[in-house]
Amino acid sequence: MNVIYLLVLIWLALLICSGVLLFSRGFLLARVSKTETSTCRRLSTNHNDEYMLTPEVVNEIFKDVNASSNLCLPQKSKVIILVVDALKYEFGLYKSNITEPLPYENKLSVLQELLERSPDQSRLMRFKADPPTTTLQRLKGLTTGSLPTFIDIGSNFASPEINEDNVIDQIVKSDLPLVFLGDSTWTDLYPRRFKRAYSYPSFDIFDLDSVDNQIMKHLPKELASDDWQVLIAHFLGVDHCGHKHGPLHEEMARKLTEINEIVSSVVNAMDNETTLLVMGDHGMTASGDHGGDTDDETNALLFAYSKQSKFFGSDSGSDNETLQQIDLVPTLAAILGVPIPYSNLGLINFNIVPDVPVPHLSKFQILLLHAWQNAQQIYRYFFKYAMENRRTFDVQEMDKLETEFILLTHRVQTIYNGVAYKSFVRDLNASLRDVLSTCREIWVKFEPTQMSQGLLFCFLPIFFAFLLINNSRPADYSNMFKPKGIFYTYLLNLAAGVFGYRYYKNFSFKSEEHGVIFFTAITSTVILAFYTLQHWTSIASNWANVKRFGHMPTRLLLFSIMAVFFSNSFVIQEAKILSYLLVAVFLLFSYELLQQSVRFDFRNKFRASQFLRSTALRLILASILAICFIRFAYTLFRCREEQGNCTDFATSNTSGFSIKKPGTGKTYILAVVIIVIYTTLTRLYLRSCGNLTGSSPNVLLARYGPTVATICAGGHVLLANSSIKNIQRTHIDAMALVIYGLLLLQIIVLSLAPLMTFVLPKRNPNIVTVNRNDSIVPEIFKKMKRMYEGDDAERHTEIPIVYGLATVYSSITITFGVFLAMTMIVLLEPRAAIGLVVCVAISAILLSVQGILRYRTATSFESCVQPTFMAVVGWFLLAHFCFFATSHQTTLSQIDWRAAFVGRTSGIGQSNIISGALVILNTFCGPIFFFCMYALLSTETFSLFALFPNLIRSFSNSCRSGSKTDAAVAMSDIANEAVGFDMTRGELTLYEYEDVFLGAGFKLATQFFMLQGLKIFCAMLACTIHCRHLMVWKIFAPRFIYEALATFVSLPALIVGYVLLLRINRAVDDLIKRINKAKTQ
Amino acid sequence: MVSRFDQQKTKHQLFHVSLSLATILICMTYMQYRRNWAYLGNFWDSLVVPIVFIGELLKVVLARFYGRIEDGVLTIKQRQKKAAYFTARELAGGFTLQFLCTLLYAFICIILGAPVLGNYEETFVLSLLMTLLTVSPTVFLLGGGGALQVCFCEKPDFVTKCEDTALNLFKYNALGGILGAWAGSVVAPLDWGRDWQVYPIPNIIGALLGSAMGNIYACTHVLYATARVYMTKKRA
């Protein structure tokens, strides 16, 4: 019966996750980057070289063009590349007939002049970019010749350095010196490649001039020196001007005029053996932004000029109107005589290749050699990629391309004149463009269908879960979800999945996954809608009882949490925003406490002395303590690049162990002290609950395990970071392994014998030793008799005494939490471990405040077992706040990879799955921990009152002005009167109302599902809305990835929490039955 | 039945609300006049705190003015309370309460993210303004002890009807001010690079606007109630 709830939870989790997965398939374009590089034999004109060009060699080559792959022709000229960020095509067009030009028109007059003066030596072309049109992605495209996607799988996240084969590396390998000036993105992508680099950060988007001025300062000097073969200058002013003012501002005219002057000065200064390329990396929209795929953004400008040699003309078979940006790489390789990078997909465009004669080769032979080398490289890459990543491309498409290629390899043998070459190269280019478009289909385009369906399929289950589960009473779920119904639900979903898998092509879905997700989601939605309609009457009546504008402050908080995703500034400052909201939760709690105490304690007159003694004040002080903790966590946040003066993101690149920052020694000590305090306090708590008595396996583990774990964790923190050199790694690893082992042991014990209770053996059956003056009351298992036998006569003979029964649920959850937290502490850095413990402390305060408030506002057991909406939101906030408090940030470069090696440096368990799990456990320790512990929200109310029965008395006393004096006896009656059930029995009450309790746990879990689902939905929506935003790949997409991962992790964590609850409940059930049996005998 | 008292009450409420709105309007005009808002965080340079102070005082005077009608029907407790208004004890108590409240607000500002070290003046001005918007009017009206009672008890027995009216309106003012100051922080993280995004300015403006909103809400309530009374009367 109870498993049914679990199945429903799993079903809902699968639905939400599949929606997220579908969205990410459409939004995050992924490509596997290859690390192979191309090489070539250089044909040289120098007599001393191995492959000197002689007529014999040429004959050899043309005897079998296919066999002679990997050839490089000699270098044709030096190259100057002026990259002007966001130089749109329209900026370079000269319109002679307009009298009042717009600010961006007719400013680059030097281009027009050169085109008119020497049309054969200059070219002005449309330079077509592939989306995403952001500078980083464009630079990757311009140098590797491939289509850069957001995630290039296999490239390293930690640093932006490109490890795919690229033209810069090929130039360096061919011993051609490079000089670079301008935007530091280049030096981030290609560190240590340049002979001289003058790089300046591009971060300040409102600074139009400083980078450009620096370039202009150094450029003349560099042009004068002749020790380089390639010079690259990257100007940022135009782009920044576009972002700040837009293209229609006077500033744009000024910047473009500056560029004009620079170009003309470079033209004057360059020598005859140099080719000048002026290009924009992308365009801009009418508002000056870029990132998307409209024509305005993708149409950049390319201008080529060579002083002496002419460019190849239109007979070369290349397009002379437009140049695809990826074509630049092979073209550059052809000009410089270096191998074409391995993963290039572009074609050589001969319109901008200077026609420099090569000895013993005719013009068409040069062209043919270049074109065929290029074609061979592309096919090699394409088929290799397709082989290694099956299912990426369509099989029929592949077959077609392969046949074409084989035909071409035969045809290339038979070309002996220019005419044949022309028709051949036309077909070759068409075939290569097919390859490109096949790749583009997969790597470049957002898929709106997948994105919109992902959004929809994520939203629908949340919506129906809200209607169905949030608006029903916990006791009704057992009627709602019958085993049979759930069985059929799963069966139908399975059928729908199989149907989708089989027939996805008939519905023109791209992949099986899409088909499966689509049909299961549709089926499940229909089933959920059916359930909702079936129970509509009860839902409607429950909904009518909800206060119309209730929980307004909490809703406001929730709204703020969700709104964070929609602005890049909010995402950047998310840590502070979350703590702001969390503090607000505590302030609201304090306000409510004050209100409650006003209502109960001080009807007519306020007495300071009474207030000072009241529980409310103590709780308010505790809240203030929690708030101070939150404020303290500010110091643990890690900053991100965009926040300015931030050094954290830079240090995370250097791998792990050896960094020594000043003053961290204190941090280690502090971390150890805090860990010790944490375990000591939990131990004290458990002991005062009576859960550490007896000798059941879990009790033994809880008694000694945390101590061992603490010693190991402390030792690991100190030793792993110490500067002492001669410690063996295995000794440090052993400590981490002990902690992993303890967690595993705990899980095993939990599944075998979870209970932490102790049934006192009967020493003298006639004497009942119940010490009621002690504050540790709950050992007394009161009223056992009345509840389970109903026979009053035997009451005095046998009352079984069970230790720890009042906190039977929470104690086990807490013990599990201790081991989980210890594992996380070992994985986290010392600083972050402090953050985790601080968050645990905050959660403890949140639990106690909410427990007492809940009891005061509850009217029945049912409402008492369900935490308030504010507590749920607070817990949810805390889980996400913990992510930031444990020194994490939502940028891809700040993932803490160190965690993958904790306890594994000596070569134990080298599997990637374990590494991944450890990193995930490190990164999402907050959500995992707090969502596993979520059941405490409903049980802690009860254990608190079992622990401190005085609480009940003080409330009821004030309610009824102390008419009852014999409190000890009457306590349960008082509680009965106040809430309708006996609170003093603690969590045993939960067992008595088992149905409601398990239903409430289920409801709580679905509430967290809804919150998390809403959050990821907002993240996806923000990505959809901002998919053309400048910062989409830098801020929104990483934020979405983190949130998606958090969802994938926290939904299972919630399910684990619920499984834990079910397991304990069954064990309690067994225990009670056993006791009853023993008594009846 | 609409008595003469109630008409007085409505008048009092409307005057009260218009006084608060006028105060905020004057503040806004002043800010418009000064153009540059960077001075708002300075204690000596900004006139916002004195303007709000005078506004609150005027509201208390208004309550006293309307209160004189009920002088004849006061209970003994109310009479005692009234007599003790200007004693040294009450004055000192009121002052201490306000001071403590300012400290509390400063603490809240800091835990909500204001710099711990530095920006003391700004934090002080903000917390002073919050005190003036929330606690001060009650203290001015009832004295220190009275204000405590009002805050912590459901229905203290010394509050006259007229004072009760004023207290109700103060509540709207205070809630609006707190929410406004809290929500004002929303602009702080945005990267617009405006000079008015600096720490206390959005919160101060938020507090003023929030209390204006609270007053407008109260005003609509009063007008709605009167309109309903008027309509029923007409129908009858």
- ∠A1052-A1000-A683 over CA atoms, to 5°? 70
Q: How large is the average pLDDT for residues A160-179?
A: 86
Q: Considering CB atoms only, which of B108, B149, B186 is closest to A605?
A: B149
> Do the Cβ atoms of B202 and A590 come closer than 8 Å?
no
Q: How large is the average pLDDT for residues A609-636?
A: 85
Contact status of A577 with chain B (Cβ, < 8 Å): yes
pLDDT grade, residue A659 (50/70/90)? very low
Nearest CA in chain B to A611: B152
pLDDT grade, residue A677 (50/70/90)? very high
Test the A interface: residue of B103, B109, B116, B153 with most A CBs within 10 Å: B153
Inter-chain CB proximity B152 and A570 less than 8 Å: no
Distance CA A752, CA A1058 (A): 17
> Do the Cβ atoms of B178 and B20 come closer than 8 Å?
no
Closest CA of chain A from B176, distance in Å: 13
Contact status of B108 with chain A (Cβ, < 8 Å): yes
More confident residue, A204 or B189: B189
Indicate if the pLDDT at residue A159 is higher than 90: no
Q: Which residues of A1044-1058 are buried (b: 16+ CB within 10 A; e: fewer)?
A: bbbbbbbbbbbbbbb
pLDDT grade, residue A1006 (50/70/90)? very high
pTM: predicted TM-score of the whole model, two decimal places = 0.78
List, in order, residues 6 or more apart from A356 with CB less than 8 Å away: A76, A77, A309
pLDDT at position A290, please? Answer: 77
pLDDT at position A686, please? Answer: 87
pLDDT at position A107, please? Answer: 86
Of A866-880, A976-990, B39-53, least confident by mean pLDDT is A976-990
Contact status of A616 with chain B (Cβ, < 8 Å): no
Indicate if the pLDDT at residue A953 is higher than 60: no
pLDDT at position A648, please? Answer: 54
Indicate if the pLDDT at residue A628 is higher than 70: yes
Q: Considering CB atoms only, which of A570, A597, A627 is closest to B111?
A: A627
> Do the Cβ atoms of A1024 and A451 come closer than 8 Å?
yes
> Do the Cβ atoms of A306 and A140 come closer than 8 Å?
no
pLDDT grade, residue A205 (50/70/90)? low
Nearest CA in chain A to B182: A584
Tell me the per-residue pLDDT of A63-81, one tens digit each, with 9 for 90 and over: 777 776 678 888 888 999 9
pLDDT grade, residue A837 (50/70/90)? very high
Inter-chain CB proximity B189 and A577 less than 8 Å: yes
Indicate if the pLDDT at residue A972 is higher than 80: no
Distance CA A879, CA B119 (A): 31
The secondary structure of residue A451, as a DSSP letter, is H
Test the B interface: residue of A606, A635, A1034 with most B CBs within 10 Å: A606
Burial class (CB in 10 A: 0-12, 13-18, 19+), A861: buried
pLDDT at position A644, please? Answer: 66
pLDDT grade, residue A498 (50/70/90)? very high
pLDDT at position A778, please? Answer: 43
Contact status of A606 with chain B (Cβ, < 8 Å): yes
Indicate if the pLDDT at residue A721 is higher than 90: no
Contact status of A426 with chain B (Cβ, < 8 Å): no
Closest CA of chain A from B111, distance in Å: 6
pLDDT at position A321, please? Answer: 85
Inter-chain CB proximity B182 and A584 less than 8 Å: yes
Indicate if the pLDDT at residue A792 is higher than 60: no
> Do the Cβ atoms of A969 and A772 come closer than 8 Å?
no
ipTM of predicted complex:
0.87
Indicate if the pLDDT at residue B78 is higher than 90: no
Sign of CA dihedral A933, A935, A941, A946: negative
pLDDT above 70 coverage of chain A, percent: 86
Select from A159, A154, A157, A169 the least CA-distant residue to A342.
A169
Distance CA A1067, CA A1070 (A): 5
Indicate if the pLDDT at residue A610 is higher than 90: no
Burial class (CB in 10 A: 0-12, 13-18, 19+), B151: middle
Q: Which of A972-976, A1001-1005, B61-65, B187-191 has the highest mean pLDDT?
A: A1001-1005
Residue A701 token pair: 């583990």
Mean pLDDT estimate for chain B: 83
- Per CB-CB distance under 8 Å, the chain A contacts of B157 are 604
> Do the Cβ atoms of A904 and A910 come closer than 8 Å?
yes
Inter-chain CB proximity B113 and A602 less than 8 Å: no
Q: How large is the average pLDDT for residues A540-564?
A: 86
- Homologous superfamily of the A34-387 domain (CATH): Alkaline Phosphatase, subunit A (3.40.720.10)
Of A217-226, A480-489, A769-778, least confident by mean pLDDT is A769-778
- Per CB-CB distance under 8 Å, the chain A contacts of B188 are 573
At A184, phi and psi to the nearest 5? -70, -5
- Per CB-CB distance under 8 Å, the chain B contacts of A573 are 188-189
Q: Considering CB atoms only, which of A579, A598, A630 is closest to B153?
A: A598
- Per CB-CB distance under 8 Å, the chain A contacts of B116 are 631
> Do the Cβ atoms of A39 and A70 come closer than 8 Å?
yes
In the 3-class helix/strand/coil scheme, how is A470-528 assigned residue by residue? Answer: HCCCHHHHHHHCCHHHHHHHHHHHHHHHHHHHHHHHHHCCCCHHHHHHHHHHHHHHHHH
pLDDT at position A231, please? Answer: 92
Return the SS3 of B62: helix
Tell me the per-residue pLDDT of A233-275, one tens digit each, with 9 for 90 and over: 999 888 888 877 888 888 888 999 999 999 999 999 888 889 9
Inter-chain CB proximity B193 and A599 less than 8 Å: no
pLDDT at position A446, please? Answer: 76
Fill in the amino acid letter for A917: A
Contacts of residues A792-800 at CB distance under 8 Å and 24 or more positions apart, as own/partner, are A796/A768, A797/A765, A797/A766, A798/A762, A798/A765, A798/A1079, A799/A768, A799/A770, A800/A759, A800/A760, A800/A762, A800/A1075, A800/A1078, A800/A1079
Tell me the per-residue pLDDT of A18-55, one tens digit each, with 9 for 90 and over: 999 999 888 887 777 777 888 888 877 777 666 777 88
Contact status of B155 with chain A (Cβ, < 8 Å): yes
pLDDT at position A885, please? Answer: 92
Indicate if the pLDDT at residue A978 is higher than 60: no
Contact status of B187 with chain A (Cβ, < 8 Å): no
More confident residue, A1056 or A731: A1056
A757 sits in the region (left: phi over 0; alpha: psi -120 to 50; else beta) called beta
More confident residue, A764 or A593: A593
Inter-chain CB proximity A604 and B153 less than 8 Å: yes
Full DSSP string of B119-159: -HHHHHHHHHHHHHHHTHHHHHHHHHHHHHHHHH-S--TT-
Distance CA A1079, CA B190 (A): 69
pLDDT grade, residue A1046 (50/70/90)? very high
Mean pLDDT estimate for chain A: 82
Q: How large is the average pLDDT for residues A670-679?
A: 91
Inter-chain CB proximity A631 and B191 less than 8 Å: no
Inter-chain CB proximity B156 and A604 less than 8 Å: yes
Q: Considering CB atoms only, which of B151, B157, B182 is closest to A604?
A: B157
Indicate if the pLDDT at residue B5 is higher than 50: no
Nearest CA in chain B to A574: B189
Contact status of A559 with chain B (Cβ, < 8 Å): no
Q: How large is the average pLDDT for residues A170-175?
A: 88
Helix, strand, coil content of chain A in percent (nearest 5): 65, 5, 30
Inter-chain CB proximity A602 and B152 less than 8 Å: yes
Distance CA A749, CA A699 (A): 10
pLDDT grade, residue A606 (50/70/90)? low
Q: How many domains does chain B have?
A: 1
> Do the Cβ atoms of A279 and A87 come closer than 8 Å?
yes
pLDDT at position A973, please? Answer: 56
> Do the Cβ atoms of B30 and B47 come closer than 8 Å?
yes
- Per CB-CB distance under 8 Å, the chain B contacts of A634 are 113
Q: How large is the average pLDDT for residues A300-327?
A: 85
Residue B41 token pair: 């965080």
Distance CA B91, CA B199 (A): 33
Contact status of A631 with chain B (Cβ, < 8 Å): yes
- Name the residue ranges covered by the structural domains of chain A: 34-387, 553-755+809-949+984-1080
pLDDT at position A662, please? Answer: 43
pLDDT grade, residue A968 (50/70/90)? very low
More confident residue, B148 or A607: B148
Test the B interface: residue of A245, A557, A578, A602 with most B CBs within 10 Å: A602
Q: Considering CB atoms only, which of B112, B152, B190 is closest to A580?
A: B112
The secondary structure of residue A796, as a DSSP letter, is G
Residue A668 token pair: 């280690």
Return the SS3 of A1013: helix
Indicate if the pLDDT at residue A729 is higher than 60: yes
pLDDT grade, residue A137 (50/70/90)? confident
Inter-chain CB proximity A604 and B189 less than 8 Å: no
Indicate if the pLDDT at residue A312 is higher than 80: yes
Q: Considering CB atoms only, which of A568, A569, A631 is closest to B111?
A: A631
What is the separation of C-alpha A307 from the centre of its chain, rounded to a whole number of angstroms? Answer: 51
Element counts in chain B: helices (H) and strands (E): 8, 0
Distance CA A778, CA A948 (A): 9
pLDDT grade, residue A776 (50/70/90)? very low
> Do the Cβ atoms of B52 and B22 come closer than 8 Å?
no
Indicate if the pLDDT at residue A637 is higher than 90: no
- Per CB-CB distance under 8 Å, the chain A contacts of B186 are 560
Inter-chain CB proximity A569 and B190 less than 8 Å: yes
Test the A interface: residue of B100, B109, B112 with most A CBs within 10 Å: B112
CA Rg, chain B, in Å? 19
Contact status of A569 with chain B (Cβ, < 8 Å): yes
Residue A601 is inside which H or E element, if any?
Answer: none
Indicate if the pLDDT at residue B7 is higher than 80: no
Inter-chain CB proximity A606 and B185 less than 8 Å: no
pLDDT at position A799, please? Answer: 64
Indicate if the pLDDT at residue A618 is higher than 80: yes
Residue B168 token pair: 């109700």
Indicate if the pLDDT at residue A772 is higher than 80: no
List, in order, residues 6 or more apart from A548 with CB less than 8 Å away: none
pLDDT at position A160, please? Answer: 66
pLDDT at position A29, please? Answer: 73
pLDDT grade, residue B6 (50/70/90)? low
Distance CA A557, CA A588 (A): 11
Inter-chain CB proximity A587 and B108 less than 8 Å: yes
Nearest CA in chain B to A625: B111
Element counts in chain A: helices (H) and strands (E): 42, 14
Q: How large is the average pLDDT for residues A4-16?
A: 92
What is the separation of C-alpha A299 from the centre of its chain, rounded to a whole number of angstroms? Answer: 32
- Per CB-CB distance under 8 Å, the chain B contacts of A958 are none
pLDDT grade, residue B4 (50/70/90)? very low
Indicate if the pLDDT at residue A573 is higher than 80: yes
Indicate if the pLDDT at residue B74 is higher than 90: no
pLDDT grade, residue A162 (50/70/90)? confident
pLDDT grade, residue A767 (50/70/90)? very low
Q: How large is the average pLDDT for residues B104-127?
A: 86
Contact status of B112 with chain A (Cβ, < 8 Å): yes
Distance CA A477, CA A461 (A): 17
Inter-chain CB proximity A580 and B185 less than 8 Å: yes
Select from A221, A146, A141, A208 the least CA-distant residue to A181.
A221
Q: Considering CB atoms only, which of B111, B148, B189 is closest to A583?
A: B111
Tell me the per-residue pLDDT of A348-402, one tens digit each, with 9 for 90 and over: 888 888 888 888 888 888 888 888 888 888 888 888 888 877 666 778 888 888 8
Closest CA of chain B from A862, distance in Å: 28
Distance CA A1026, CA A903 (A): 42
Distance CA B223, CA A1035 (A): 49
Q: How large is the average pLDDT for residues B100-127?
A: 87
Test the B interface: residue of A204, A240, A571, A576 with most B CBs within 10 Å: A576
The secondary structure of residue A290, as a DSSP letter, is -
